[in-house]
Structure 1
Amino acid sequence: MQSSCVFCRIIKGELPCLKVYEDENFMAFLDKNPRTVGHCQIIPKQHYRWVWDVPNIGAYMEAARQVANAQRQVFGTEMIVSSIIGDEVPHAHIWLMPQKHTKNSQLEEKEIAHLLSIHL
């Protein structure tokens, strides 16, 4: 963990987040500045600079798949746009952004986080 990394601070509980998924190695939460309703970040709990540095990348992609499937159910859409950029926060992260919502797009963020978490 790096004390200056915002995602490491979220993992340690020093900064708040609306968590939707957590296992031994990964965490997913609603983005603080979402591009779409339900936009999630999936991060490894151990600090890695790039997604490509995560040693158990298959498990990482499986966590992302589970979150994307929950988003599909919650928002009634097949279209989940993913993005791996890594230029804003120096900690590996995957964005999952639901598109073309057919339901639940008017809910408050806490309600969205709750719905996503019960579908995981």
Structure 2
Amino acid sequence: MVEDCVFCKIIREELPSYSVFDDGDYIAFLDIRPMNPGHTLVVPKLHYRWVWDVPEAGRYFETVTRVAKALQKTMKTEWIAADVAGMGVAHAHIHLIPRFPQDGHGEFVNGRNVKTIPAEEMKAIAETIRKWLLTSAVDQRMGGSLRE
């Protein structure tokens, strides 16, 4: 981990976050500058500069898919925009942004259109996503597939 990396600090729990998923290798948490409610970052717990530096890219994208499906269900939208920009924080991360009709972004997510979401609502959103992911994990261990 890198001492001054914001995401490494979140992973070390030196900074607070609205965590929705942690499997020991990857963590997902709500973006504190959300483009829409449910905007989530999926981050490897080991520090890699770029997404393509992550050695188990398949497992990383399985995690991204799992979180995206949770967002579809909990945020009640089929459209999840994914962004691998590599800017802002120099730690590999993928943005998952639920999209909604009339969400103020147009066809592409406008990075300047940050939504103000109260802390209590952020906590509630995180809890809803986290519960869905925990329930789907139990379903999978019981022989089911990821809930549709």
Normalising to structure 2: TM-score of the pair? 0.76
Deviations 1:40-80 (A, max 9, x none): 00000000000000001111001111110010111111100
Q: State the one-letter code of the partner of 1:87.
A: M
Aligned to 2:20: 20
**2: CA distance, partners of 1:85 / 1:98:** 17
2:14 alignment partner AA: E
Q: Please tell me whether Structure 1 or Structure 2 has the larger radius of gyration of its CA atoms.
A: 2
Which residue in the other structure is 2:132 paired with? Answer: 119
Q: Distance in 2 between matches of 1:38 and 1:87?
A: 20
Distance 2:87 2:10 in 1: 18
1:17 deviates by 0.2
Report how many residues are paired: 117
Per the alignment, residue 42 of structure 1 pairs with: 42
Residues 1:33 and 2:33 are matched in the alignment: yes
Q: What is the letter of the counterpart of residue 118 of structure 1?
A: K
Partner of 1:109: 122
Q: What amino acid sits opposite 2:56 in the alignment?
A: N
Q: Secondary structure at the match of 1:28?
A: strand
Write the deviation string for residues 9-34 of structure 1: whole angstroms up to 9, x where unpaired: 00000000000001020000000100
Equivalents in 1 of 2:95, 2:46: separation in Å? 17
**What is the one-letter code of the residue matched to 1:117?**
R
Letter in 2 for 1:90: A
Return the alpha-carbon distance in structure 2 between the equivalents of residues 75 and 11 of structure 1.
Answer: 25
Q: What are the within-5 Å matches in structure 2 for residues 10-89 of structure 1?
A: 10-89=10-89
SS at match of 1:70: helix
Q: Which runs of 5+ in 1 are unaligned?
A: none
Determine the C-alpha separation between the residues in 2 that align with 1:11 and 1:119: 21
Residue 87 of structure 1: how far off its partner (Å): 1.1
1:7 aligns with: 7
**In percent, how many aligned pairs have the same letter?**
44
AA aligned opposite 1:37: P
Deviation at 1:100, TM superposition (A): 1.4
Which stretches of structure 1, 4 residues or more, deviate above 4 A after TM superposition? none
SS at match of 1:82: strand
